[in-house]
């Protein structure tokens, strides 16, 4: 049994809708129920709604999966690989729960997000190469130290936690016809698929055109690994589908859309004009909805708002987490 009284969970076992419901109850004291905001009115005249996860504690939806995993596992030491937002989410929670955290980052990780992770008390390790190398190092480090590995997407508890995004938006807008979901590692898309079980809503994943790992894998009929890439959507650079998200997405997602960097930046600029401070990764779903151009009642998930400017401003005012809580700077980053 874990410290929370729950039975140990197998990381790669597939979660179901009941796991999303359990996650919602477990994480409720630790997350914000984010609102649906009015979005832009595209050329075809149908208004889009925006699920405002940029307003989530820690600045992104990642807090949901991170909270579900940490609370259920009851680990004393945790290792993860992250592009930034998952590491920030885990670091905030690990600090409050007294958990020692190490975050492995790839060479292209956002320096501002790296600084935020360190400011929140986590140790950081940087590796050369891309997401695949990052995940390999995180797994090895967890084995070497006896820590619990909590991946950014490829874990049943993480996927179930992310699914609460879908639970909330479908409760608030039950007549939604399509939900557009940014897709990197696939944890959020898989979670929304679980939340949509038994609901007639279309679930559409939106990937950066330079990193279409799910579209390529589904076309091939098996998970395939792409080479490292660069994209303005730095949080969506995953190279290979996860073992947990892939079958869920394969069996429930209705479509996958690829959007280019110019479309992502245009969507981010549109959101900023609406007063929604989304980072490029957080604007990908809107870019997909605009590209689809369907006349429908739709929701686009704005998955994160940890822009470099926002993180810089927080640090200029005093070392803070993305919700504005002042913290003490601790560990230095290790070279690796």
Q: Out of 51, 62, 217, 281, pick the active-site residue.
A: 62
At 299, phi and psi to the nearest 5?
A: -125, 130
Helix (H) or strand (E) holding 96: helix 85-97
**In a 3-state reduction of DSSP, which class is residue 282?**
helix
Residue whose entry in the numeric block shows the structure tokens 């929701």: 299
* DSSP structure class, residue 313: H
Residue whose entry in the numeric block shows the structure tokens 């980072």: 279
> CA 132, CA 245: separation in Å to the nearest integer?
16
Q: Out of 60, 82, 83, 217, pick the active-site residue.
A: 83
Helix (H) or strand (E) holding 69: helix 62-73
At 206, phi and psi to the nearest 5?
A: -125, 120
- For strands 48-52 and 298-302, give the pairing: parallel
**In a 3-state reduction of DSSP, which class is residue 162?**
helix
For residue 51, what are the β-bridge partners?
36, 301
Does the annotation mark 96 as catalytic?
A: no
> CA 138, CA 140: separation in Å to the nearest integer?
5
Does the annotation mark 217 as catalytic?
A: no
> CA 198, CA 195: separation in Å to the nearest integer?
9
- For strands 48-52 and 36-38, give the pairing: antiparallel
> CA 195, CA 160: separation in Å to the nearest integer?
9
Max Cα-Cα span within the chain: 56
> CA 87, CA 141: separation in Å to the nearest integer?
16
- Which residues are part of the catalytic machinery? 62, 83
């Amino acid at each position: 049994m874990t410290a929370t009284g729950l039975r140990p969970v197998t990381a790669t076992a597939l979660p179901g809708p009941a796991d999303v419901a359990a996650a919602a109850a477990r994480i409720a004291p630790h997350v914000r129920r984010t609102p649906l905001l009015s979005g832009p009115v595209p050329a075809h005249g149908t208004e889009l709604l925006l699920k405002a996860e940029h307003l989530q504690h820690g600045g992104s939806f990642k807090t949901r999966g991170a909270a579900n995993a940490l609370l259920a596992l009851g680990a004393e030491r945790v290792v993860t690989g992250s592009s930034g937002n998952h590491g920030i989410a885990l670091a905030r929670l690990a600090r409050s729960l007294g958990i020692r955290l190490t975050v492995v980052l790839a060479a292209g990780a956002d320096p501002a997000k790296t600084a935020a992770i360190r400011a929140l008390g986590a140790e950081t390790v940087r590796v050369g190469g891309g997401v695949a190398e990052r995940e390999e190092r995180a797994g090895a480090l967890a084995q070497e130290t006896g820590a619990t590995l909590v991946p950014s997407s490829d874990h049943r508890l993480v996927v179930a936690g992310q699914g609460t995004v879908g639970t909330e938006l479908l409760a608030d807008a039950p007549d939604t016809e399509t939900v557009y979901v940014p897709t990197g590692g696939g944890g959020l898309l898989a979670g929304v698929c679980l939340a949509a079980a038994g609901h007639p809503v279309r679930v559409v994943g939106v990937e950066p055109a330079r990193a279409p790992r799910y579209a390529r894998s589904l076309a091939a009929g098996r998970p395939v690994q792409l080479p490292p890439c660069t994209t303005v959507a730095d949080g969506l650079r995953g190279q290979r589908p996860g073992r947990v998200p892939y079958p869920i997405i394969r069996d429930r997602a209705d479509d996958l859309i690829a959007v280019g960097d110019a479309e992502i930046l245009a969507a981010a600029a549109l959101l900023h004009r609406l007063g929604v401070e989304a980072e490029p990764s957080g604007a990908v779903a809107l870019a997909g909805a605009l590209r689809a151009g369907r006349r429908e009642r739709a929701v686009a998930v704005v998955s994160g708002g940890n822009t470099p400017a926002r993180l810089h401003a927080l640090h200029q005012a005093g070392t803070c987490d993305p919700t504005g809580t002042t913290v003490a700077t601790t560990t230095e980053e290790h070279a690796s």
